[in-house]
Amino acid sequence: MKQIGFLFDEEFENENDIFDETDEDTLKDRFLTFNIGNNDYGLEICYITEIIGIQPITEIPGMPKFLKGVINLRGTVVPVVDVRIRFEMPERKYDEKTCVIIVHINDTDIGLVVDDVSEVVDIPEHNILPPPAVNKGRASRFINGMGKIDEKVSILLDINKLLYDRSNDNNNIENTGVNNEN
């Protein structure tokens, strides 16, 4: 409790600075980090609506492999994408730590299945580096940049490319989105 109180004090000290910023500014530079395999990935918080535990997934036949199926989120049918498969990494059995990140993009809710969710962090712009120019491989096209957090490096993903990029890709994610809307 003492710690929390201390934190609050700090908050109040910087109150004037905070008030100067706009709403958009508050959402900027904030990222939700999660784990797939041994890597940390980051996703801009502005796209994220909520995080839920793994739920039973209804599979839809004839869809691309990474589109695992749909889930029922409080009455709304939400398509679910397995990021592992999207990254062409080996599949892994879901456990109690597996989470689904619900993102809202282009007026559509889409679930992203990840191994584990870590935290919500601030990464200032000067700590973000451009993606390495060396590897123009499959998964690297989804990368927005490399965010430094203390000693670690988080791979910041471009959610649009992750979901809708069809270049160099046999799968069609847009169709699923359209199908879902209809």
Residue ranges that bind another protein, judged by CB under 8 A: 3-4, 7-8, 11, 18-19, 21, 23, 26-27, 30, 32, 45-46, 48-53, 96-97, 99, 117, 119-120
CB of 169 to another protein, least distance (A): 29
Residue number with CB closer to another protein (104 or 166) = 104
Residue number with CB closer to another protein (6 or 37) = 6
Residue number with CB closer to another protein (118 or 172) = 118
CB of 4 to another protein, least distance (A): 5
- 53 by Cβ neighbours in 10 Å (0-12 / 13-18 / 19+) ranks as exposed
Which residues, at least 6 apart from 98, have a Cβ–Cβ distance to it below 8 Å? 53, 54, 113, 114, 115, 116
CB of 82 to another protein, least distance (A): 19
Q: Please check whether residue 85 is in contact with residue 65, taking contact to mean a CB–CB distance below 8 angstroms.
A: yes
Q: Please check whether residue 140 is in contact with residue 125, taking contact to mean a CB–CB distance below 8 angstroms.
A: no
Q: Please check whether residue 122 is in contact with residue 32, taking contact to mean a CB–CB distance below 8 angstroms.
A: no
Q: How many residues are present in the chain?
A: 182
CB of 178 to another protein, least distance (A): 27
Sign of the CA dihedral running 108, 109, 115, 121? positive
Residue number with CB closer to another protein (40 or 67) = 40
* Rounded-to-integer distance, Cα 64 and Cα 86, Å: 10
CB of 135 to another protein, least distance (A): 31
Residue number with CB closer to another protein (48 or 173) = 48
